[in-house]
Chain A
Amino acid sequence: MKLLARYNRVNLIAAVTVLFVTGIIYYLAISYILNDQVDKDILIEEQEVFSYVKQNNALPPVVEYKDQQIQFIKAHSPVKRTFINTDYYNAKGHEHESGRGLITSVVINGQIWQISIVESKVETEDLIQIIFFITIGVILFLLFVLFIVNRFILNRMWQPFYDILNQLRGFTLTDGKDIMHTSSSIDEFVELDNAVINMASRVKTDYKDLKTFTENASHELLTPIAVINSKLDSLIQTGEFNTEQSRLLNDVYDAVSRLTRLNQSLLLLVKIENHLVKDDQPVELKQLIEAKISQFRELFINKELDLKHDIVAREINVSPYLIDILLNNLIGNAIRHSDFNGGVNIILTQQELTVQNTGDNRPLPKGEIFKRFNKSANSEGSGLGLTISKQICESYKFELLYDYHEPYHCFTVKF
């Protein structure tokens, strides 16, 4: 629920409740005052009757005036003096109205007379009705005003917040864009804006430091690796080795080779993320893929893979260096992970490039395979190949997708 809606709801409930309670209080107060007024009128009438009886020792004539009726009835027992709510018959309008009455009594010549004085309350009720309608009117007006305020004023007031939110949503560490200043006259939003801008720049600095560190560390590693590599090359020139020694040396060679690749991959990732490879030019993919196929020919033959390819002419604007790495990774992976005597398909259309290979009969976990250092248990690759491929694709706004269509593992680049 939006803050605005929640705030409105609370506001509205509070306002309606308060108005409602006010209405009730009004009603009670006014009807009390008016009843009191009517009662006073009736008491005055009673007083008049009593004084008339005192002077004349007889009942006054029954006169009706000012919505007041008076009745005298012979009573046989003493009458208790009480105020009552009763009906009032309006003879003029021929209708019953609610009324207020007083039952009292007077004794004339030993005869008890019950006196009932009834006064119409129709004006009081009219007043209460008016109060009710005014309350309803005020509630409706309040709703209308709140609606207008929300619609046109609050939305505008919250605009800076939504601007900041949108910028946060579009914020990525890797692109060079900073969060722009959002102007607002509201203190909270100014504070939020400042905090967000500070946070973004701090995060970017930290990220940059980290990347610089990775790059420096990888660079610094290159020299010792170069020394190890060259020393190994020198060592194997020195003479005869027995089987055990050869095996050990081979293992060291392989480890150094993997270390080299790993290091190069890390450096490459940093470079792609920093957009440092900027030699984009039109590249004819068809030629490139055909060259790759011939480059890898021996590998296909060695594993007795059945290579099928269906390639159309397609020119894209990329760095030849990066697209070469991308193709190496995709085709290299297909060769490495396909089973002996398996099949590899390379399909290039105008919209996409797909590399498929048979192999393990289970689909790979889609969410995991593009993560750094994620690799299958029996793979001796660096675990960075697909990460690099994904990065390359992202830097050109291509999509790299994985899917498993029995029996093929398919990697698709959508241009």
Chain B
Amino acid sequence: MKILIVEDEKGLRESIEEYFSGDGNVCEVAADYNSAVAKVSLYRYDCVLLDITLPDGDGFDVLKYLKENKTPDGVLIISAKNSLDDKVMGLDMGADDYLVKPFHLSELKARVMAIVRRKSFSGNNLLVFNEIVIDLLAKEVKVSNVVLKLTRKEYSLLLYFIANKGKVVSKNAIAEHLWGDGVDLADNFDFIYSHIKNLRKKLEEIGSKDYIKAAYGMGYKFTDQ
């Protein structure tokens, strides 16, 4: 997939670019409003990651430009402003999602993947990873054609892992993804271990390979290598 990262903060821009590159993805970057508009007027992207506060303009204007020209690009707003008004405004203007800084790259990736899937999988709502097939509409998981019963959180966790396949996902990122960032549980991550153990057990019992690898006590990696 092809992604445009509009972000003025160099460190953040580079990290996102690095995280999204590879696996057949193409990333382009824009550091300011003008280059962002120049890029979106020339090329089409599967998803535009749009920072709202840019040195020479407003990210909302880039969004407006995209919508006025009826481009099919998905738009994910990344903003330092955790303001309901901004969020509502962005979504009303046609953005697909709104993510508040600071975020985990794995969360960003999962959100982008969800947008891209929604945009491009029209008619085909199956997500396939080797023998695991996920019907995104019915929220049903099959392993080698056998239905696997998962709780809502296990399902969400599996999607999260597949969106970040091949990457180490930190425990903090998983906790925030599953229990929301409003939950202040930084002092207790043990429950993630037991949660992942359950998912692993269910997958293994039904004949899936063990794709979930613990990564140096920091997190987990979903990989078939």
Contact = CB atoms under 8 A, between A and B. Distances in A.
A31 interface: no
B172 A237 contact: no
Interface string A71-101: 0000000000000000000000000000000
B192 to A, nearest CB: 9
Given A223-B80, A226-B9, A336 B167 contact: no
B129 interface: no
B84 to A, nearest CB: 6
Contact of A332 (B16, B80, B185): B185
A381 B190 CA distance: 16
Given A222-B102, A250-B218, A298-B195, A381 B184 contact: yes
Given A230-B19, A379-B187, 20 more contacts: A223-B12, A225-B102, A226-B103, A230-B15, A230-B104, A234-B15, A236-B218, A250-B218, A253-B172, A257-B172, A258-B186, A260-B102, A271-B83, A295-B179, A296-B183, A329-B184, A332-B185, A336-B188, A381-B187, A382-B184
A233 B15 contact: yes
B86 to A, nearest CB: 11
A227 B12 contact: yes
Nearest to A245: B216
Contacts of A241: 216, 218
Contact of B16 (A223, A230, A268): A230
B180 A328 contact: yes
Contacts of A246: 216-218
B81 A231 contact: no
A171 B193 CA distance: 52
Contacts of B180: 295, 328
A380 B186 contact: yes
A328 B168 CA distance: 28
Interface of B: 9, 11-12, 15-16, 18-19, 80-84, 101-106, 153, 167-168, 170-173, 179-188, 190-191, 194-195, 215-219
Contacts of A237: 19, 167-168
A236 B187 contact: no
- Most-contacted residue by chain B among A226, A271, A299 (CB, 10 A): A226
A227 B171 CA distance: 18
- Most-contacted residue by chain B among A237, A258, A267, A276 (CB, 10 A): A237
A256 B15 CA distance: 16
B182 A236 contact: no
Contacts of B167: 237
Contact of A264 (B9, B82, B186, B190): B82
Contacts of A229: 102-104
A271 B100 CA distance: 16
A337 B188 CA distance: 11
Contacts of A261: 181, 184, 186
B72 to A, nearest CB: 28
A234 B168 CA distance: 9
A268 B101 CA distance: 14
Contact of A227 (B15, B19, B173): B15
B106 A296 contact: no
B191 A298 contact: yes
A181 interface: no
B19 A234 contact: yes
Cβ-closest 7 pairs across A and B: A380-B187, A230-B15, A226-B102, A302-B191, A246-B216, A227-B11, A233-B105
A385 B101 contact: no
Contacts of A40: none
Contacts of A329: 184
B212 to A, nearest CB: 16
9 contacts: A230-B11, A230-B19, A230-B104, A236-B219, A243-B216, A257-B186, A279-B84, A298-B153, A379-B187
For the residues of A in contact with B, the DSSP-based class is helix
B133 to A, nearest CB: 26
A274 to B, nearest CB: 11
A145 B188 CA distance: 77
A219 B217 contact: no
A321 B88 CA distance: 13
B78 to A, nearest CB: 8
Nearest to A220: B80
A385 B184 contact: yes
Contacts of B188: 299, 336
Contacts of A381: 184, 186-187
A258 B176 CA distance: 12
A191 interface: no
Interface string A202-237: 000000000000000001001101111111111011
A122 to B, nearest CB: 99
A243 B217 CA distance: 8
A277 interface: yes
Contacts of B173: 233
Contact of A231 (B11, B101, B195, B216): B11
Contact of B172 (A254, A271, A324, A335): A254
A243 B215 CA distance: 11
A180 B180 CA distance: 45
Interface in A244-286: 245-247, 249-250, 253-254, 256-258, 260-261, 264, 267-268, 271, 276-277, 279
A267 B216 CA distance: 34
B106 A233 contact: yes
Given A328-B182, A332-B184, A336-B187, A226 B84 contact: no
Nearest to A329: B184
B81 A219 contact: yes
Contacts of A231: 11, 15
